[in-house]
Structures are given as C-alpha cells and as structure tokens.
Structure 1
Amino acid sequence: MNIKEKFGQKVKMLREEKNISIEHLANISNVDRNYISDIEKGKRNVSIEIMEKIICAFETDFTTFFNDKNFKK
C-alpha cells in the first residue's frame, strides 16, 4: 500500500469513527467533497496544506494523526 492509500484509509477511518459524512468533513475542512472522496480512495496526491485542513477538521495534529502503525515501515 502506498502513502496516498494509507493517508486516505486513515481519513476514512477517522471520519467513520466520528460518524460524519464526506459532505460534513468537506464543510468543516473547507476541502471539496469530491476531492475528499478521491483522497479516501487513494487517488489524490495531497498537498501539505490540504492535509493540515483535514487533520485540523478532525481536531487533532500531525503527530497524533501519523502516530499509527499503518504509517510505520
């Protein structure tokens, strides 16, 4: 699995854990819903700015978000 897929999988997991829709995540992160859908599918090469918007929308930080066994080799 590549990093785009890992990031997308984590976004989807957190979104589902918080029981929010893609549309709601789009609204609170100010990222287009179609873009978020593509991120979750591992189809987007996400910029650091978009990562920050999404991670902040989950009310977390980069360290917490990436401190996951799925991001470690």
Structure 2
Amino acid sequence: MFVAISCKIHCIPLECKVKSRKKVANCYKKGGAHLQRRQWLVGIREGKGYTQEQVAALANIKRAYYTQIENGVRTPSVSVAQKIAAILEFEWTFFFDDR
C-alpha cells in the first residue's frame, strides 16, 4: 500500500512504502535530504545528442560522477562545471543557480 506525502522543499509528491522510499518525478530523498534532479541539464545533453558516457569522457570525469551531477546528488566543482558547460555550450554558473 502506498501513501502519498509531499516533499516540503520542492512540493513534488513522493510515495512512501512502509520502510522504503521510491523516487517519483524529479524529487529524490536520500539520507533525509531532498534532492532536485537537474532536468535542464538532461535536456541540454539530450538536445545535443550526447550520452552521459560521452559527456563524462569529454569532461575527463567518471560517468557515475556525471550521473550524480545530473541527479542532483553532487554539485560539481567550478572546474568540472566549466568543462561540462563548455562541452554542452551553456553558462557554467547554471549549476549553482538551481539550488
């Protein structure tokens, strides 16, 4: 049985099943903290025709790290943000505006 609850930070509904949480839409709960997926980053990457693996390789980072950046689990350093932004052709400060 699922019980609908609201994420007080992002106002996106989450589903709770007994002791486990399930990600829904673009809001994730990890260790008690709510994380917002960077959907804008996914859209830019997909619009340019890149895979996560390709962007990670061009930025000289691991794909898992890039995935964490897209999912909002990690915030890139300034140098990594600049590399990704240069590859995907957007302003690197966008990473720090979506908090």
Question: Normalised by the size of structure 2, how large is the TM-score?
Answer: 0.52
Identity of aligned residues (%): 30
Kindly tell me the number of residue pairs found equivalent between the two proteins.
Answer: 63
User: 2:49 maps to which residue?
Assistant: 19
In the TM superposition, what is the alpha-carbon distance from 1:60 to its structure 2 partner? 3.9
Inter-partner Cα distance in structure 1 for 2:78 and 2:40? 15
The 8 Å contact of residues 31 and 53 in structure 1, kept in 2 or not, is answered as no
Inter-partner Cα distance in structure 1 for 2:89 and 2:55? 12
In the TM superposition, what is the alpha-carbon distance from 1:9 to its structure 2 partner? 2.3
User: 2:82 maps to which residue?
Assistant: 52
User: 2:39 maps to which residue?
Assistant: 9
Higher strand share: 2
Mapping for residues 32-43 of structure 1, pairs under 5 Å:
32-43=62-73
Inter-partner Cα distance in structure 2 for 1:54 and 1:5? 19
Which of structures 1 and 2 has the larger relative contact order (alpha carbons within 8 angstroms, sep 6+)?
A: 1
In the TM superposition, what is the alpha-carbon distance from 1:45 to its structure 2 partner? 2.3
Letter in 2 for 1:42: G
Higher helix share: 1
Structure 1 residue runs without a partner (length 5+): none
Question: Normalised by the size of structure 1, how large is the TM-score?
Answer: 0.67
In the TM superposition, what is the alpha-carbon distance from 1:53 to its structure 2 partner? 1.0
